[in-house]
Amino acid sequence: MFDFYFELPLLLRLLLQGTVVILVLFPLAAACSMAERKISAWIQGRPGPNRTKPPLAGFLAPLGLVASIPVLGTLLQKLGIFQLAADGGKFTFKEDPVPGHVNKFYFILAPIASMIPALSTVAFVPFGAYFNAAGELVPVALAHVDVGLLAVFALGSLGVYSLILAGWASNSKYPFLGGVRASAQLISYELSMTLSVLPVFLWVNAPGGQGTLSLFEVVQSQSQPGFWGGTWYVMTMPVSAFIFLIALFAETNRQPFDMPESEADLVGGFHTEYGAFKWSLFFVAEYAHMIVGSGIFCLLFLGGWNPLPWVSLADTIHALANILPCVSTPLFMGLIAIGIFLGKVGFFIFFFMWVRWTLPRFRYDQVMTLGWKKLLPLSIANLIVYALGIAWLQTR
Amino acid sequence: MSDLLFHIFALLSVACALGVVFNKNAVASALCFLLSLVGVAGLFVLLDAFLLAVLLVLVYAGAVVALFLFIIMLLDMQGGDRKRFTKATILSSTVAAGLLVTGLVSFASHGLVETADPATVKVVGSSLRAYAEQLFTVYLLPVQIVGFLLLIAMLGVIVLSKKFEGLEDVK
């Protein structure tokens, strides 16, 4: 069915795949901003955006526009779906002034630089799996490399430069403070984050293996038969998962850790001087980091594309194939796997927003104390305990 | 293909390294350093040393340069006027450059560098296991010594930069 696709040159295929992933990730990140408005409204007991509808929807009814369908159109309007398009239009066509006192080159470079790590980290994230012709499980990912997780961390750590640059290039007091805070905060929490995932890889790399940091192998090791083979790592390593989650909040600058932005004391932080399209790029980048970060959390601790603990994707597909034979084809299986994975990621996006609209922001010194005096010792202790435990269990 | 990529990455890292030296703006220098490191990481990828490339980006590009920028911004360094060269500086730098060129030329023409057949060289940097084995057997002592040196340097910086007023502060 897809033979013509595999006959294309490799470079063209990779280009097409990359474009498709970006075309999915970019609107998804933009849609997150809409979801944020709706969820914040829901948590605060207000309706949120519910008025926007396409222009002239009443007159264009005969053309069969979605908005003019009686029940569904109203529902979509209430959900604020059309607000997304309106916001996008506003950000694109609004006047985009560049203040006179900024360092122009770096001022324009910063939002562009924010997109590069945000969209390139996703290349190393496997988001599904399917059986190939030989019956082996193959990951759906742009680049399936052995150093997967480290590559994501490495590229993700470059995201801080856009914040620093924006703060510095704005050449005024509050953005500058935001940029300085961003650099300090991201370095502080990167340590705990990296240390917190080590127990997972200690366990995955059992003696005798070739050694891997691949995220696909982590999911594979959570989909083995038997009680211990099928448990997700969030159950066996809850402390690691907890530290990783907290560090993830700090690394993506989400409340209660949004020090670079904190609008209460820094006006708008690093993006005070930005408006229109450049401002929206920062936000798309932040949401893209959130999506990728949630994806990493699901792969490491929540079994990736396995629907339930002790129920692996392969078992599900075999069971479903008895009823509907077509699900075991690569296309259907890939779509099911991606659907399960995106469902988990979606829950985490919701969790991010839930926390944001529930908890108050930390003070800056509290963020630093938490990072260096609490989280880092905890993650080192966690690593030592698990290293000893895993050494004892795996050499028995 | 990989030749073309080699040229791109080599050009990127050398051009950006020059940018680090010649930029008057400290922030621009730091960003050039960042790009130069990315170029070197690209060269590592072409050598199949993926782990090294990723670690270079993670540690140096991700954390060290961010710290540089943090310090530059915190101290609000402006490039400032450069001092004119004195005669002693010109003389000593000419001698140093001459020595460097002589050394490089003699190394290139008379150096006894044994280039082993690429087919027989054992690849130790490609798989994590091989990398770790080398790190914990052959290179264990050098790594420990370097780590110890870094620790001493860090302690030295803390001692030099912190003002000790009385015996209480030392405790």
Under an 8 A CB cutoff, do A157 and B62 touch? yes
**By mean pLDDT, which of A241-255, A265-279, B7-21, B121-135 is the weakest?**
B121-135
Taking the CA atoms of residue B29, residue A289, residue A118 and residue A283 in that order, the dihedral angle to the nearest 10 degrees is: -90
CB atoms within 10 A of CB A385: 12
Distance from CA of B82 to the nearest CA of A (A): 22
Contact list in B for residue A179 (CB cut-off 8 A) is 73
Q: For residue A190, give the nearest of B63, B69, B131 by CB distance.
A: B63
Distance from CA of B115 to the nearest CA of A (A): 28
Compare A113 and A325 and report the one with higher pLDDT.
Answer: A113
Region B49-55: what's the mean pLDDT? 83
pLDDT of residue B121: 62
Res. A68: pLDDT tops 70? no
Q: Which helix (H) or strand (E) holds A29?
A: helix A10-43
Q: For residue B67, give the nearest of A151, A165, A187 by CB distance.
A: A187
Under an 8 A CB cutoff, do A147 and B50 touch? yes
Q: What is the C-alpha separation between A157 and A34, in angstroms, rounded?
A: 26
Of A231-235, A242-246, A362-366, the range with the highest mean pLDDT is A242-246
- Among the listed residues A261, A242, A259, the one whose alpha carbon sits nearest the alpha carbon of residue A250: A259
pLDDT of residue B65: 86
Q: Which two tokens stand for residue A364?
A: 């800056």
pLDDT of residue A224: 77
Q: What is the C-alpha separation between A207 and A262, in angstroms, rounded?
A: 47
pLDDT of residue B158: 86
Q: Which two tokens stand for residue A296?
A: 């990493």
Instruction: Give the best residue of A10, A145, A146, A217 to mutate against chain B (max B CB count within 10 A).
Output: A146
DSSP string, A66-114: GGGSHHHHHHHHHHTHHHHHHHHHHHHHS-----TTS-HHHHHHHHHHH
Res. B81: pLDDT tops 70? no
At residue B146 the predicted structure's pLDDT band, cuts being 50, 70 and 90, is very high
Under an 8 A CB cutoff, do B127 and A210 touch? yes
What percent of chain A is modeled with pLDDT above 70?
Answer: 92
What percent of chain A is modeled with pLDDT above 90?
Answer: 3
pLDDT of residue A64: 53
pLDDT of residue B77: 63
What percent of chain B is modeled with pLDDT above 70?
Answer: 81
Distance from CA of B6 to the nearest CA of A (A): 17
> Which residues have C-beta within 8 Å of that of residue A127, sequence separation ≥ 6?
A140, A141, A295, A305, A337, A338, A341, A342
pLDDT of residue A135: 67
CB atoms within 10 A of CB A221: 18
Q: What is the C-alpha separation between A279 and B141, in angstroms, rounded?
A: 50
Interface residues of chain B, partner chain A, Cβ below 8 Å: 27, 31, 34, 50-51, 54-55, 57-58, 61-63, 65-67, 69-70, 73-74, 127-129, 131-132
pLDDT of residue A156: 85
Mean of per-residue pLDDT scores for chain A = 81
Q: What is the C-alpha separation between A281 and A38, in angstroms, rounded?
A: 20
Question: A308-353, pLDDT tens digit by residue?
Answer: 787 777 777 777 777 777 777 777 777 888 888 888 888 888 888 8
Res. B152: pLDDT tops 90? yes
Question: A124-169, pLDDT tens digit by residue?
Answer: 888 877 777 666 777 777 777 777 888 888 888 888 888 888 888 8
**By mean pLDDT, which of A110-124, A138-152, B21-35, B38-52 is the weakest?**
A138-152
Question: A163-209, pLDDT tens digit by residue?
Answer: 888 888 888 888 888 888 888 888 888 888 888 888 888 888 877 77
Contact list in A for residue B52 (CB cut-off 8 A) is none
Under an 8 A CB cutoff, do B50 and A209 touch? no
Map tokens 């296991």 to a residue: B129
Region A253-266: what's the mean pLDDT? 77
Q: What is the C-alpha separation between A271 and A170, in angstroms, rounded?
A: 8
Whether residue A204 contacts residue A189, with contact meaning beta carbons closer than 8 Å, is answered with no
Whether residue A135 contacts residue A333, with contact meaning beta carbons closer than 8 Å, is answered with no
Instruction: Give the best residue of B29, B58, B68, B123 to mutate against chain A (max A CB count within 10 A).
Output: B58
Q: How far is CA A101 from CA A27, B51, B58, in A?
A: 33, 43, 33
Which chain A residue shows the shortest CA-CA distance from B61? Answer: A158
Q: Which two tokens stand for residue A130?
A: 């399917």
Which residues does residue A139 pair with via DSSP β-bridges, in sequence order?
A: A129
pLDDT of residue A162: 86
Res. A274: pLDDT tops 70? yes
Q: Which fold has domain B1-79?
A: Four Helix Bundle (Hemerythrin (Met), subunit A) (1.20.120)
At residue A304 the predicted structure's pLDDT band, cuts being 50, 70 and 90, is confident
Q: What is the C-alpha separation between B27 and B7, in angstroms, rounded?
A: 26
**By mean pLDDT, which of A42-46, A51-55, A387-391 is the weakest?**
A51-55
Q: Could you state, in order of their start, the residue ranges of all structural domains in chain A?
A: 49-93, 98-394
Instruction: Give the best residue of B37, B40, B69 to mutate against chain A (max A CB count within 10 A).
Output: B69
Under an 8 A CB cutoff, do A150 and B66 touch? no
Q: What is the C-alpha separation between A70 and A163, in angstroms, rounded?
A: 45
> Which residues have C-beta within 8 Å of that of residue A43, sequence separation ≥ 6?
A354, A357, A358
- Can you give the pTM of this predicted structure? 0.83
Instruction: Give the best residue of B50, B67, B128 to mutate against chain A (max A CB count within 10 A).
Output: B128
Region A215-236: what's the mean pLDDT? 80
Region B105-109: what's the mean pLDDT? 83
